[in-house]
Chains A and B, each alone.
Chain A
């Protein structure tokens, strides 16, 4: 039977907490940036002119169809070649924002498509501009439908943030791995790491549920 030693974990709690802070910092900042990127690109895709639409669609398709690890390496290793020096953590945030932003753009587009097109025609006939239609009519209806998938994108952002450890950011995964290798205690450190990630993502899932109930309009059921 494996000799499970909790003392090595207790000793390295401060070390791991530092990592949780970095993981949270990266995932929160990139989630916010990704949401903004998603909003801008979905506005381009649904209401922009042809070239803007083309740019937005190619951005989303290129990002969605290539691995995050490659994008991370590309930003970390190739941007200095064109004279843009970012610290590793900045590279991580940039890559994760771009990656999550593409997925959020798809989520938002699905939400916007689920709003009936009569609403769009009605607001145009009332004399609202395209941007006003988007902001005042479509978006408030769409946001209620997209809260659950948006929440799962934020959860993915937390999980994907573990990859920044490969560009030398000392996040939670890096510290779990380092602790495991240094003490040769894989089971202890990895189970602790898994539990911490479960708590982090579980919190986001819980918040998503609360928001969903908060924004629910009485007597209306959102389309799946």
Chain B
């Protein structure tokens, strides 16, 4: 049964190709260029290469040789992971999957000629382009802060050296010192991320500097898993964490990195470590490709194609797609839909209806994990939420421990799914 079906499909593809020869191009095999080697881009590149069995030429453009996942980088701050354990290289994608991995920056896109120009000067032609660049920061989002100040007041919202720097600054805080986070407005990468980070900072400080305090200035009246985090903070870090929402001036913030001060609604605080997570927008290559509207790149959920240029698919944090949160899990889920659509367009392989899902695990303290998740489907208008769940307050310790252990399994699963 299986063999017959496969044989039949194979014949069908060959026949269709012979009759219509839809993809005959001068250079032979269809080409896909993927820009960005994170949860969206690496997954898309791997699935296209794996499932097309060499019928599609896949090039992955990613500046870093060692990629640090943003997810689980908070656990490094909390001391639950080594930094090296969240670093991944692209060797397997090159050797096992035949992906042409290019460590360079994409600096220009010619939508008509269908080429990507790299900082090193190379020009890569494509039949389909996949952009998965993640986020950049909105200029002027936090008065007093710009990217040149990121060593004094790290964002640590792209993992790696920034994460190390932030942790080092927290460890160097004087006894009883103050850590301040300026939380970003919606929408932003990893909605529970800032609050998991606060939990991890508190976990770290509780051990090395238990009289230290944490201040969060937040322009949002509520945030992801709010009840769960606030319950956890009360349980594990009572008296340590102060969250200032918009009612308490949390939306009216400026910083002075040279003086190490934060002005919250006119009250100036001297801070010992300051984590500024500014408002965000699509990685700037999306602007260069001319596919953004406002801060993000609109896409259709059926294929993850840009609504502005149908030869470009956009994945993950950079997109405006509808109801999915900006998360690594979402990007990974979207990548599979895009990979299937791209293969369908370039090789006439079968295309099935798009399905999406997301789960975000967060760690509050040792063995105290929580999660939120949902499933989604594509509609004409957007990617729409179908069903969801969230951990409950008051859950027993065994369930929380299990949720944390589940997140470890998920990390191993998704990174294998991304990097092979």
Chains A and B are bound partners: no
